[in-house]
Structure 1
Amino acid sequence: MAEPGKVTVEILGTDEYEAKYGESREPSALSIDRINELFHEFLLAVARPKRADSDGSRDLAKRLRDHLGSAPTDRPVVKTAYAPFDLPNVHLALERWFAADGRTHELIGMRGGRHHGELTLGDIIDAADRYDRFVVGAVDYAQLPISPDAELACVSCGFYLGTDGEERFAVLLRGPQDEYGRNKVEVEVLASEKEFADRLLAEVDALIREHNVFRGQVLSFEGSQFGHGLGPFRFHRRPGLTRDEIIMPSGLLERVERQVVGVARRRERLREAGQHLRRGLLLYGPPGTGKTHTLRYLLSHLPQFTVVILSGESINAIGPACALARMLQPALVVLEDCDLVAEARDYGGGEQPLLFQVLNEMDGLGDDADVAFLLTTNRADLLEPALAQRPGRVDLAVEIPLPDAEGRARLLDLYAGGLGLGQDIADEVVARTEGTTASFTKELVRRSVLIAAERESARTEARDVREALDELLSDRDRLTRRLLGVPGTRDIEDEEWTED
């Protein structure tokens, strides 16, 4: 007798076969049939070794068969897919769906097949049934952020063995697996009737929309899935800026507020009058004048808005950003420094700049969409031709200028009001900082405090401010001034070229 786990192959002639098995066949037919039979036994022994669990508790196919009451391969499979960053939404939606009265589920995991991400549920069941390639194992979880301060353990690979009344079914949830090339969330339902599976997926999708974890959040696209954050997203705390913290020429902030916040507050009146809610605002001006600061102020006064921030190359994600904004409206899509892509080409190699794709996405949302777009740029001259060729997407363009004398005095009071510097030094600073930016004033105050700290002083005095101002206005800090957005600042190389 052969040892357990081994296959013995006998080569018998016709006479020997008749003596052993009591039957006669043609030599050629006998050899082929018997060899085929033995080879099949050999493949099963190699591909399906004896289980370590004598009770079959890890047999995935048996577990599914026992739960369903019939062979899994006899049932239809219906599947759907979501973006990779939607795993928390899908996980929570399934939890909510199963929590309804009359429904139960058991969650089990799966082991085996390193590249199971490439297989469908049907493939997995077939491989588990025929070759034991997959067995019951621990459920895989992914710890993912769902807000700036909270994380959620989400099922990233698991079977829900569910019941709904008399219906018995299985749901396979798999999250993205970048190492295997599956950049999506997949949900597959194995049920006795396709109609039941369709209805389950439709109800889960409705729950995803109703309880979306992104709703009312401030998000930014990071341009990569491998850093901190959820998929390509990073969560941000909503700012809490007041009007007193925004320094602008008289009437300017009111125009900006009316375009973004005012429409949000009067949306019902506008709809009744047949007016669209979609709007676009362009903030332009030199670096450091406060465009981003103005954006932060607007976010402070739009607490119910979902905000998606795109910057630089992440503007390539304008399609998913607009889809998210459409689903989670009211929403604000922010395109920071969009002049950086004004000359970029799209992936299709066409002649239109990426900015045209952005503008087309804006137009494609429809007039009834409660979505605002806010674009910022340091180079309005680059954007103007594109905007002129795509009219109507941006309804208001507002220049954020360099602060005048009154503005610089208010900025100094904002950043240094608690230092008690006195009016004389304040007037001196205002007089000497003509043509500088809000960022320059903020850095001036920070450097003044640092100089005072280095000389072990308990308070910042006028001489500290003068020393800091002398440094920032000196030749050695030309590049610093340039980085703080002060226009007209030339570095040493510029002067050398000019002299030549």
Structure 2
Amino acid sequence: MGGMTPEDAVAFGSTFTEFMDYVRTIAPAKPSSLVARLTDHLGQPPDKLPVVTSPFPVYQHANLQVAIDAYLAVEGRTHDLVGAAGPGREHFTFAEIIASSGVRGMYGLGTADYISVPVGIDAEMACVSFGIFLIGDGDSRFAVLLRYSTQRGPQPRCELDVLAPDTGTARRFLAEIQDLIRKHNLLRGQVISFEPHEFGHGVGPLSFHRRPQIDAADVILPPGTLDLIHRQVLGVAEHRDRLLAAGHHLKRGVLLFGPPGTGKTHTVRHLMGRLPGATVVVLTGLGLGAVREACALARQVTPALVVLEDVDLVAEERMPGGHQNPLLFQVLNEMDGVAGDADVAFLLTTNRVDLIEPALAQRPGRVDVAVEVPRPDEDGRRLLLDLYGRNLKLTGAEVDELVTATAGATASLFSELARRAELLAAVAGEPTATAAQTRAALAELQASAAALTRSEHRA
């Protein structure tokens, strides 16, 4: 309105007043069917009442539905579920819908909408995506809009809009819903990850995974290493009552460090299987930015294991240009924010321990134990060849030869060595893979590694 004169402003105001008078003349003579239903339930016009809104991440949609169902199941409470008929209703707040219905009659009474929400591997649940719960609790009457929306933000989300005679009633309802989400959380005991995904079992940024089962005998580490990890991660969970009675905290952190391919992730997967009742929350790569959401969830669904893979991606003190790393401080704050009596274990992995900020890696209560997962020694390579090459036809002398030839190799090489030898035998029409195919497979792997090394040097 930069070039508008006072006379123009007066003319505009007059025209606008005339327009609003016209809108009132064409407005419905009586409230819409939706407003009438709300008025009948509440005992007063809804446009005079406050609305308290509480947003929820989209992955809590099913938990929100379960919590509302549990709330309504309490003896003495009554409810009815209705919807709103009209275009684009899921994109507007409860207050906006009421205003549109009262002035323009835009929304009338309708039925609730539902969507199917993933709640686990091969499991889904029907949840209200747009519905108004007309709730009675003793003498109290209020209305709750549950709305799933893809608008007004980078991620879809769910919202509860509570329309009540006073904000205290709304806040008490929302507090009870939060308590019921913690009590009935469908994510408890599952293996989940925060990561961008388009396919597979997931909702929003959350994906569901099957719990891996890897025997301790299949985790090849230096003697005593796995026992140390077990004691810190599993032992605290097993003896939680005794530790709490003695005044000790349960929160703990373990850092696994070593070169790529030495078995850090393999060890993590083994621990997941050894904690069958724990909720496992995994963050890696781009998912590390969701550490706040992951830790908030872990606090709700204890016992929990929070896995931060390749934590060096966010755990450098300084970023390029000398700026402080905001994700590092977020990780530190979230680890510190978990109560000491919460059965939450943090398991961190890194290929570059030299990049880890000491405030993360050298402070008890964040990381209590740092464990090196090195390249396997001779005994380790023999065990790995036996583990992954159980179907290879090798003599004792040939095993000795391969163990010597793989000096300096990582654990991951032996899995690929056995697979490639089996493939070479199959292509050649041989019934079993022998030392000839195994030597050829090792030569191919070593040639590939050498080519990559030369390329890195040239770069």
TM-score w.r.t. length of structure 1: 0.79
- 1:134 is aligned with what amino acid? Y
Are positions 1:88 and 2:62 aligned together? Answer: yes
CA spacing shift, 1:118–1:343, aligned 2, 3 Å? farther
2:399 maps to 426
Contact 2:259-2:375 at 8 Å conserved across structures: yes
- Unaligned 5+ segments in structure 2 are 1-14
CA spacing shift, 1:46–1:343, aligned 2, 3 Å? farther
- 1:103 is aligned with what amino acid? R
Are positions 1:478 and 2:450 aligned together? Answer: yes
Structure 1 position 138, deviation (Å) = 4.2
1:491 maps to 454
1:64 maps to 38
Are positions 1:416 and 2:389 aligned together? Answer: yes
| Alignment RMSD | 3.1
- 1:444 is aligned with what amino acid? L
Are positions 1:109 and 2:89 aligned together? Answer: no
TM-score w.r.t. length of structure 2: 0.86
Say which SS state the counterpart of residue 295 (structure 1) adopts.
helix
Structure 1 position 446, deviation (Å) = 0.7
Rounded Cα–Cα distance in structure 2 between residues aligned with 1:405 and 1:65? 80
Rounded Cα–Cα distance in structure 1 between residues aligned with 2:282 and 2:138? 45
Say which SS state the counterpart of residue 401 (structure 1) adopts.
coil
Rounded Cα–Cα distance in structure 1 between residues aligned with 2:80 and 2:157? 24
Residue pairs, 1:265-344, within 5 angstroms: 265-343=238-316
Residue pairs, 1:361-376, within 5 angstroms: 361-376=334-349
Are positions 1:461 and 2:424 aligned together? Answer: no
Q: Deviations over 1:135-181 (max 9, x none)?
A: 23343333221112211122121111233456543211112424666
Q: Which has the larger radius of gyration?
A: 1
Structure 1 position 287, deviation (Å) = 0.4
Structure 1 position 434, deviation (Å) = 1.0
Rounded Cα–Cα distance in structure 1 between residues aligned with 2:360 and 2:163? 50
Say which SS state the counterpart of residue 233 (structure 2) adopts.
helix
Say which SS state the counterpart of residue 294 (structure 1) adopts.
helix
1:73 maps to 47
Rounded Cα–Cα distance in structure 2 between residues aligned with 1:260 and 1:438? 23
Residue pairs, 1:161-310, within 5 angstroms: 161-164=134-137, 167-178=140-151, 184-192=157-165, 194-223=167-196, 229-310=202-283
Rounded Cα–Cα distance in structure 2 between residues aligned with 1:431 and 1:187? 65
Rounded Cα–Cα distance in structure 2 between residues aligned with 1:126 and 1:387? 51
Structure 1 position 77, deviation (Å) = 3.4
Rounded Cα–Cα distance in structure 2 between residues aligned with 1:134 and 1:351? 50
Rounded Cα–Cα distance in structure 2 between residues aligned with 1:370 and 1:174? 33
- Unaligned 5+ segments in structure 1 are 1-34, 483-489
1:136 maps to 109
- 1:478 is aligned with what amino acid? A
Say which SS state the counterpart of residue 390 (structure 2) adopts.
helix
Contact 1:108-1:136 at 8 Å conserved across structures: yes
- 2:45 is aligned with what amino acid? A
Structure 1 position 69, deviation (Å) = 4.4
- 2:340 is aligned with what amino acid? D
Q: Deviations over 1:315-349 (max 9, x none)?
A: 22222222222222222211110112233768xx9
Contact 1:343-1:353 at 8 Å conserved across structures: no
Contact 2:49-2:164 at 8 Å conserved across structures: yes
Rounded Cα–Cα distance in structure 2 between residues aligned with 1:149 and 1:288? 31
CA spacing shift, 1:171–1:364, aligned 2, 3 Å? closer
1:21 maps to none
Structure 1 position 301, deviation (Å) = 1.0
Say which SS state the counterpart of residue 203 (structure 2) adopts.
coil
Percent identical:
49
CA spacing shift, 1:374–1:477, aligned 2, 3 Å? closer
- 1:491 is aligned with what amino acid? R
Rounded Cα–Cα distance in structure 2 between residues aligned with 1:250 and 1:132? 75
Structure 1 position 451, deviation (Å) = 1.2
CA spacing shift, 1:326–1:159, aligned 2, 3 Å? same
2:5 maps to none
Rounded Cα–Cα distance in structure 2 between residues aligned with 1:416 and 1:332? 32
Are positions 1:97 and 2:71 aligned together? Answer: yes
1:43 maps to 23
Rounded Cα–Cα distance in structure 1 between residues aligned with 2:220 and 2:295? 31
